[in-house]
Amino acid sequence: MDVAPVEVRGAFELDRTPMGLLPRRLPVWTRPQIPDLFMNTMVTMPSGVRLAFTTDSPVVELTVHPRTMHTVGTDLRLPVFQMTVDGMVQADVVAHGGSFVHVDRMLGPEGVTFEHGGPATLRWDDLGAGEKAVEIWFPTNASVEIQALRVVAEASVGTAPAKGRRWTHYGSSISHCMDVDRPFDAWPAQVAQAAGVELTSFALAGQCQLDPFMGRVIGDHPADVISLKLGINLVNNNSMNQRTFTPAVHGLLDSIRERQPVTPVLVVSPIFCPMAEAHPGPTVPVEGGFDVVAAAPSVRPFPLTLEWIRSALEFVVMARREAGDVNLHYLDGLTLFGADDQALLYDRLHPTPEGYRLLGERFLPQAFGEGAPLAG
């Protein structure tokens, strides 16, 4: 979406509020199909969203009202915005202000409280007087109402050139990266910067559920390369079993291929998660993180485990390649983050910032390196 000549990249809709604009990461037609408030909230959390424009102003100000998600029992992290100027990352700017949603996972729906505040104005100085391409990347842990963008008087503002190649990524919280300190700590943003590609992130915490509409969304969005990191949320929610999983993956791929028949697609299986490798979900909050729920086998017939999902995804990709889809590829998530890395899972499920950095460093050559599936 854009408000010419400033583009809001990575967003498909801008909700008009009394004070400004609220980016959403799914197109408007999906609204009736979004199943619940939690997914709707994740759609407004702007992982991968950024403002893009050119200007010759030496100063840029942005007034926003962030609504930050905070897990009770963890440190409160104020939202951080990061700017690039001609691709060079500038100093972090912290939004002091906004509202907070405090979530106590141990209490379920009753554990949500709200703390209301006012807007915050962010300022970047000493940017130089010449024309430059500017991007302002939004935090992963807060929805952001955009209220005003300012440059000095008489300065020009124009449309920023897009990078040469477009990358669409679909994933879970492990791609959304709500638990990082700054936008470029999220591994898809790291990879996009290093590979020089335009990122569109459909990484939605808890919501990578193979929803039928997501295949249409991904397929309708023009892309040069696509990656799909699938599996963990289906175990987290115990939302599918072995009977339904494989047809759902095929359905997602069919929807994409009907719209983009030859675009390179990389299917990525889950990274290591000790509690769910050989044990089915659901996973639930416990003191210190997450754990799986014990239940009799009769209650969960043909359950999903991460070990089973990896084998199933590899088989789906192999079968479709043998049927002629040579631009479909598989990547084992354990090569990105394996058993030897589990000390970097701070809650037994999500990587630490160091873990995300490691994941991104490994994904970059395997996906975008010379001869890799998404290489130019």
User: Mind listing the domains of the chain with CATH numbers?
Assistant: 2-158 (2.60.120.260), 165-368 (3.40.50.1110)
Percent of the chain residues topping a pLDDT of 90: 88
Query: Is 70 exceeded by the pLDDT of residue 35?
Result: yes
Task: Of 373, 84, 47, 51, give the one whose Cα is nearest residue 201.
Answer: 47
Confidence bin at 1 (pLDDT 50/70/90): very low
The answer to whether residue 96 scores a pLDDT higher than 60 is yes
**pLDDT for position 136:** 98
Q: Of 78, 8, 20, which Cα lies nearest the Cα of 46?
A: 8
**Predicted confidence (pLDDT) at residue 368 exceeds the cutoff of 80:** yes
Q: DSSP string of 29-58? A: GGGGG--SHHHHHHHHS-TT-EEEEEE--S
Asked if the model's pLDDT at residue 107 lies above 90, the reply is no
What is the average pLDDT value for the chain, to the nearest integer? 95
For residue 363, the surrounding DSSP H or E stretch is helix 353-368
Residue 8: which residues within 8 A CB-CB, separation 6 or more? 1, 2, 14, 21, 23, 49, 50, 51, 52, 146
**Two structure tokens written together for 215:** 């295949």
What percent of the chain is modeled with pLDDT above 70?
99
- What are the tens digits of pLDDT across the range 269-302? 999 999 999 999 999 988 888 999 988 777 888 9
pLDDT in tens, 156-199: 999 999 888 999 999 999 999 999 999 999 999 999 999 999 99
pLDDT score recorded for residue 2: 41
Q: What is the pLDDT of residue 253?
A: 98
CA dihedral of 340, 365, 12, 18, whole degrees rounded to 10: 60
Q: Does the pLDDT at position 36 exceed 50?
A: yes
Residues found in the chain: 376
pLDDT band at 4 (very low <50, low <70, confident <90, very high): low
pLDDT 10s digits, 211-239: 999 999 999 999 999 999 999 999 999 99
Task: Return d(Cα 140, Cα 194) in angstroms, integer.
Answer: 19
